[in-house]
Structure 1
């Protein structure tokens, strides 16, 4: 059995894994899990047997079932090491992982679907959703932009000239920030990285609108 990826086209965590698979030129089959239809297919019993958290993505490689995008991408880096997503030196690897965690731990959890649904449904924060989303983008991207400046980023990728693990995490976050009309003019390096990466097939083919489960209106 080949690699299977349970994915939702709009999920930024799924987007990350699709990019990593594409960069490494790994063939995979997508099995869509619609996060909104029928109360959220991720909550259905058949999917919960695969992923008890009821989240996407889930990756199946042979008999192994992997969850959490960070763990999945680290697994892919170890098992399919070429082309590499992490640099050679220990210091550069630590820096790359710090950027990854800034995005995956400090920005994304505050703005993911579960949080936005809670704000809307439980706290009646429908009108404040946009302000909430863009506030945390602003906070996180401000720190990230400064880190990139301090490390002499060239605007092609977060580190060096080719895409690495930090770019795999960053591009979906920028994609969603643009979808939510968050202001990006204060982040020229981040914006340049996005423009460069989205010209590459590994990123473009992983984009939400190019997925088999994509809906016409994004």
Structure 2
């Protein structure tokens, strides 16, 4: 941990993939923070910081930043240790593309609130197929995108922005939505590497037990960004 760094506060939710990607970045950069888990929709403390009521929200001194992408870029600008983006412009663009695919084309369509809504307006039996369809569509694109760029990690032998987006998303696909991953050998290998990477292990392990707790999913979490 960075000596003398006043602990930041991260408003989070245990199952929020958006919050987990920020926690991974904080861990990689060695930054101290207090994780405040939001357990109810419309939490008044969170609403004071982010009127949208979404997690995550980061408080760093007098600065408040909401939305995981904005938080990650803020952390990269202010705390440059362990860069989240490579210097190579091509690899940097791949990192941006991975982040965009996960955050725009997958995560919103598997969000608990939306999945429950599909169950209400269509059928409860359609919730899982809905999520699996949209996750698979995004993973097909990611597998093709990374085939010529992956090393030990998504875009080389260092952990970058793409890995912060992929690790929670792959965990969700495999352990939460039971997606058949046989057509994604590259992504499966990355998931294995993430599970063995010390800076990722604790956060991924924390979530694993929640995946097994079916009662947990009866709680509709706050939106995440």
Flag whether TM exceeds 0.5 (same fold): yes
| RMSD across aligned positions (CA) | 2.0
Distance 1:181 1:216, change over 3 A: closer
The match for 2:162 among 162, 166, 171 is 166
Aligned to 1:54: 53
The match for 1:195 among 192, 200, 205 is 192
Residues 1:205 and 2:205 are matched in the alignment: no
Is this contact kept in 1: 2:22–2:71, CA < 8 A?
Answer: yes
Q: Structure 2 CA distance, aligned partners of 1:204 and 1:103?
A: 21
Matches within 5 A, 1:1-218: 1-34=6-39, 41-121=40-120, 123-149=121-147, 151-154=148-151, 156-178=152-174, 179-207=176-204, 209=206, 217=213
Q: Per-residue CA shift, 1:31-70, capped at 9, x if unaligned?
A: 1102xxxxxx241333211211111111100011110001
Q: Structure 2 CA distance, aligned partners of 1:165 and 1:11?
A: 17
Q: Does the residue aligned with 2:162 lie in a helix, a strand or coil? A: helix
Aligned to 2:218: none
Q: Structure 2 CA distance, aligned partners of 1:44 and 1:27?
A: 24
Displacement after TM superposition at 1:174 (Å): 0.6
Q: Structure 2 CA distance, aligned partners of 1:10 and 1:142?
A: 24
Displacement after TM superposition at 1:120 (Å): 2.3
Is this contact kept in 2: 1:158–1:167, CA < 8 A?
Answer: yes
Distance 1:91 1:63, change over 3 A: same
Q: Does the residue aligned with 2:55 lie in a helix, a strand or coil? A: coil
Displacement after TM superposition at 1:82 (Å): 1.2
Unaligned runs of 5+ in 2: 1-5, 215-225
Q: Structure 2 CA distance, aligned partners of 1:15 and 1:83?
A: 17
Is this contact kept in 1: 2:116–2:127, CA < 8 A?
Answer: no
Q: TM-score, normalised by structure 2?
A: 0.86
Q: Structure 1 CA distance, aligned partners of 2:211 and 2:131?
A: 23
Q: TM-score, normalised by structure 1?
A: 0.89
Is this contact kept in 2: 1:42–1:56, CA < 8 A?
Answer: no
Displacement after TM superposition at 1:148 (Å): 1.1
Moved over 3 A (4+): none
